[in-house]
């Protein structure tokens, strides 16, 4: 089968198209013929060996994907050959014609979603759900800042928060991003490249109950000063260190929590998938695809996904 | 009545003994003849106007105290004249012969405790309880680091954690502090002035479920690396800023929470007082008094309470 692979930790340009052996599965696994693969920042961290991520080589990138079930392990129940599914945390890499997937991390794909859309669910929507509900205990009426809202996780968070009846403020770095957020139904948009963009929110009266933070190393210090009483910052993304004043947490009875999808147990993942599906079927949630690349352009997608000014999810078309 | 007062924000040496008017109380208040006053770091922040604390002048320092009820407001129920009580967040300052106290922040004093011991309960034990249970959700079996354990809040935390069946590791800066912790029943003591003193705990397998942190601006970065999966740092004390790596929180599904007694609502304060009292009566909890000063030496107590190498609570004898 065709796959994009890299032989050792290195730049995206080291990725090349190879003819690889079709994966074999064990009795607990599912072989999926991949229709489309999602591209997420974590894929680039694994490829380059940063942030303590590691890979086996040759490495086929890609955690997220969607497609049809080609083979079923003997002990797998609740699925059938030919069924449309999406998955995350697969075993062999989704940038390939087939991927071996753990049955515990594979879910039915909503009829309303294409494979390309389905490839946007695993990491972005599950992370957004975990950050908003599982970690920050969000509920209707909460005032939520989605800080860096135009990327794949950001848009998923905006859609989930609006669907749950929260008051959403979202930040963008570009006019195009602000337009995208308005299309998503956000009426209160702030531009995070403007100085003091959080100043109007930095009092207990005007602060946020929840801040979903995509770049904590840039924003956490000012975020803490923009929390309401007992507010919470959910850290979803981070690329370095930052100086904070812990007294900001004391003054507000506030908290900072880390969010990482790899830490979520299968039972909670299954509940999240179950709660997302009807919202996809009804169109309440709908992935935004910024760009779709052929498999051979995976290197370009790895470079693009780390650029600022994101406008949704990047996906790779495969079958 | 005699009181120690200061006329404007300033150093401890500006405190002087004055003959002040005995406070009058309204219908919701209690007048307490103060037997002893507790001295806590927050008293010095209020006196000097740091960390956003403010005072009215002339200012009589002191939030904590214990004594007997001299007068009762008309609407106050559940108390009687002559009753032994302790209090916190009083209205006129506890470094005086009498203090006007809010009935919502005054509690019966355990028979087992002297007034000097009772003056150690309000801030130290209530803060420790809130940090350990209210904010960090501590329970039997948790592995807890009390970081800076020899001060008033530290010892209260150690006693509460041991009484609750937690596995306690405590840090001290001095040999005398380590001796005090051993007397409290702590078998695992680490010296926080030694380089890399947290290194043995900085893995998911050996990390702490809870860290109670008295000086977050010094320790928070290394604390985050010493948490177990889903661990929590409760920030009780802080005197500046610190650089952290938020990825440490993501990797562990961890959290940092701020703790400040001023943020705790009366209903929770009452529950904490109710849960502490039988433990004081049984001797399971017992305040450690490092030094007791006459009222005229309040300035010295304000200087001593900020020094490192604390060995328990400081109190002022009054009546």
A260: which DSSP letter? -
Indicate where chain A has its CATH 3.90.180.10 domain(s): 2-120+287-317
ipTM score assigned to the predicted complex: 0.92
Structure tokens at A313: 């999810």
| A254 vs B contacts (CB less than 8 Å) | 257-258
Report helix, strand or coil for A248.
Answer: helix
Over residues A121-140, the pLDDT tens digits come to 999 999 999 999 999 999 99
DSSP lists the bridge partners of residue A258 as A235
DSSP codes joined into one string, A162-209: HHTT-EEEEEESSHHHHHHHHHTT--EEEETTSTTTTGGG-STTT-EE
Confidence of residue B283 (pLDDT cuts 50, 70, 90): very high
- What values do phi and psi take at A111, rounded to 5? -60, -30
| B241 vs A contacts (CB less than 8 Å) | 243-245
| A interface with B, Cβ–Cβ below 8 Å | 51-52, 135, 216-217, 220, 229, 235-236, 238, 240-260, 263
CA angle A186, A199, B55 (to 5 degrees): 135
Structure tokens at B136: 């960090």
Indicate where chain A has its CATH 3.40.50.720 domain(s): 124-261
CATH of the structural domain B124-261, one choice from 3.40.225.10, 3.40.50.720, 3.40.50.300, 3.20.20.70: 3.40.50.720
Over residues B191-204, the pLDDT tens digits come to 999 999 999 999 99
* CB atoms A251 and B52 under 8 Å: yes
Q: State the Cα–Cα distance between residues A192 and A139, nearest whole angstrom.
A: 25
* Class for the domain spanning A2-120+287-317: alpha beta
Q: State the Cα–Cα distance between residues A36 and A84, nearest whole angstrom.
A: 12
Average pLDDT over residues A14-33: 97
Over residues B258-276, the pLDDT tens digits come to 999 989 999 999 999 999 9
Which candidate from B235, B245, B251 shows the least CB-CB separation from A249?
B235
* CB atoms B235 and A220 under 8 Å: no
Q: Is the pLDDT of residue A9 over 90?
A: yes
DSSP codes joined into one string, A204-234: TTT-EEEEEES-HHHHHHHHHTTEEEEEEEE
Q: Is the pLDDT of residue B279 over 90?
A: yes
| B257 vs A contacts (CB less than 8 Å) | 249, 253-255
Over residues A278-311, the pLDDT tens digits come to 999 999 999 999 999 999 999 999 999 998 888 9
Structure tokens at A43: 């894929």
């Amino acid at each position: 089968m065709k796959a994009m692979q890299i032989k050792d930790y290195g730049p995206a340009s080291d990725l090349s198209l190879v003819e690889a052996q079709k994966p074999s599965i064990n009795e607990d696994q599912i072989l999926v013929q991949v229709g489309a693969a999602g591209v997420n920042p974590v894929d680039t961290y694994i490829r380059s060996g940063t942030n303590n991520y590691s890979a086996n080589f040759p490495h086929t990138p890609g955690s997220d994907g969607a497609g049809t079930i080609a083979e079923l392990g003997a002990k797998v129940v609740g699925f059938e050959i030919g069924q449309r599914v999406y998955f995350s945390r697969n075993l062999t890499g989704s940038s390939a014609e087939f991927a071996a997937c753990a049955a515990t991390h594979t879910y039915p794909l909503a009829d309303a979603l294409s494979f390309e859309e389905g490839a946007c669910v695993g990491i972005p929507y599950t992370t957004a759900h975990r950050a908003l509900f599982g970690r920050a205990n969000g509920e209707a009426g909460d005032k939520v800042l989605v800080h860096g809202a135009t990327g794949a996780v950001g848009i998923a968070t905006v859609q989930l928060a609006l669907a749950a009846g929260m008051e959403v403020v979202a930040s963008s770095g570009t006019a195009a991003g602000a337009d995208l957020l308005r299309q998503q139904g956000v009426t209160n948009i702030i531009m995070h490249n403007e100085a003091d963009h959080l100043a109007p929110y930095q009092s207990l009266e005007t602060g946020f109950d929840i801040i979903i933070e995509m770049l904590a190393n840039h924003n956490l210090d000012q975020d803490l000063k923009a929390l309401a009483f007992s507010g919470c910052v959910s850290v979803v993304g981070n690329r370095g260190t930052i100086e904070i004043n812990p007294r900001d947490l004391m003054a507000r009875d506030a908290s900072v929590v880390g969010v990482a999808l790899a830490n979520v147990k299968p039972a909670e993942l299954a509940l999240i998938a179950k709660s997302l599906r009807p919202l996809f079927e009804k169109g309440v949630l709908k992935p935004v695809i910024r760009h779709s690349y052929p498999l051979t352009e995976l290197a370009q997608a790895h470079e693009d996904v780390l650029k600022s000014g994101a406008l949704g999810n990047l996906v790779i078309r495969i079958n």
